[in-house]
């Protein structure tokens, strides 16, 4: 399965080829649960150009199926790795989502890491309905003509937003990076590397944002385990595992 370095190369190719309409979804267990309840969310994820596993639960599930997945695709890490390439090659970037305060802090911090990074725009949408987009936003983004549109609306809003607007925006690639804007801007605390690498970021985030995230981790995650158990009990798991093993062995 694809890792961060592979994804960076694919995005690079899309930009080089001016292949518009691509979008990258960084999925976690919450996406699976929401997709099981909302067909539009499932369609948005399944229609993406790339769907990358984030969260220890999806990594472990992928390994159970037989994929040789070393680590998860963590949104902030993917963003930073690609921005190294963007600075070197002069690719332009637009940041959409969150708040104006967060976006300004984000760009300021990124400029410290990547002094020559080209940022052609930022936009903080109204929170009354930030899945929709008006003609003004389309015009602003298209006039800026970014090579990469980074979307930080959270899940599943960013998946639905990219899915709905991929044909209207003249952008080679959109990447939904969830809370990366908050972490890299410093507006929210990021779990230490050792916690992230050992699969306990979910606990750190629950403890730091209990009111916002309690349902995701205390209700949706157990439901994800139920869905996995249901898949195993149905017999589909063994069929899919055999298919994966056959694909890998070719």
Q: What is the DSSP string of 122-161?
A: EE---TTSTTS--HHHHHHHHHH--SEEEEE--TTHHHHH
If we measure between CA atoms, which residue out of 149, 207, 218, 208 comes closest to residue 181? 149
Residue pair 51/38 in contact (Cβ under 8 Å)? The answer is no
- Closest alpha carbon to 118 in 151, 81, 144: 144
Q: What is the pLDDT of residue 160?
A: 93
Encode pLDDT of 110-122 as tens digits. 999 999 999 999 9
Distances, alpha carbon 135 to alpha carbons 12, 22, 123, 167, 192, in Å = 28, 20, 14, 13, 40
**Which whole number is the average pLDDT over 134-157?**
92
The yes-or-no verdict on residue 242 having pLDDT over 70 is no
Q: Do 48 and 162 touch, CB atoms closer than 8 A? A: yes
CA-closest candidate to residue 87, choices 29, 22, 8, 140: 8
Tell me how far apart the alpha carbons of residues 120 and 140 are, in angstroms, rounded to a whole number: 10
Distance CA 227, CA 24 (A): 24
- Omega of the bond prior to 92 within 30 degrees of 0, cis? no
Distance of alpha carbon 157 from alpha carbon 131, whole angstroms: 6
DSSP 96: E
| 70/200: higher pLDDT | 200
Highest mean pLDDT among 40-49, 85-94, 149-158, 229-238: 85-94
Would you kindly state where each structural domain of the chain is located, as residue ranges? 4-249
Q: Which of 42-46, 56-60, 171-175, 245-249 has the highest mean pLDDT?
A: 171-175
Residue 185's nearest CA partner among 76, 83, 93, 55 is: 76
* pTM of structure: 0.87
Residue 209 has pLDDT above 60, yes or no: yes
In whole angstroms, give the CA distance from residue 192 to residue 170: 37
| Rounded percentage of the chain residues whose pLDDT exceeds 90 | 48
8 Å CB contact between 123 and 98: no
- Integer angstrom CA distances of residue 236 from 39, 58, 104, 230, 239: 20, 17, 48, 9, 5
């Amino acid at each position: 399965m694809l890792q961060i370095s592979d994804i960076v190369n694919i995005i690079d190719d899309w930009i080089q080829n001016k292949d518009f309409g691509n979008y990258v979804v960084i999925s976690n267990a919450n996406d699976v649960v929401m997709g099981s309840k909302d067909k539009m969310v499932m369609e948005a994820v399944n229609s993406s150009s790339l769907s990358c596993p984030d969260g220890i639960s999806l990594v472990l599930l992928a390994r159970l199926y037989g994929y040789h997945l070393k680590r998860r695709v963590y949104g902030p890490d993917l963003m930073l790795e690609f921005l190294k390439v963007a600075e070197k090659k002069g690719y332009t970037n637009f940041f959409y989502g969150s708040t104006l305060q967060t976006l300004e802090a984000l760009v300021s911090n990124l400029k410290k890491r990547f002094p020559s990074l080209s940022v052609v725009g930022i936009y903080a949408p109204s929170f009354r309905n930030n899945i929709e987009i008006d003609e003004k936003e389309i015009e602003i983004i298209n006039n800026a003509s970014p090579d990469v549109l980074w979307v930080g609306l959270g899940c599943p809003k960013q998946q639905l937003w990219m899915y709905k607007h991929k044909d209207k925006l003249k952008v080679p690639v959109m990447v939904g990076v969830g809370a990366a804007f908050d972490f890299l801007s410093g507006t929210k605390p990021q779990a230490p590397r050792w916690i992230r690498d050992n699969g306990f970021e979910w606990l750190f985030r629950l403890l730091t944002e209990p009111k916002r995230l309690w349902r995701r981790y205390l209700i949706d995650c157990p439901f994800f385990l139920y869905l996995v158990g249901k898949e195993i009990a149905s017999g589909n798991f063994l069929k899919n595992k055999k298919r994966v093993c056959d694909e890998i062995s070719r």
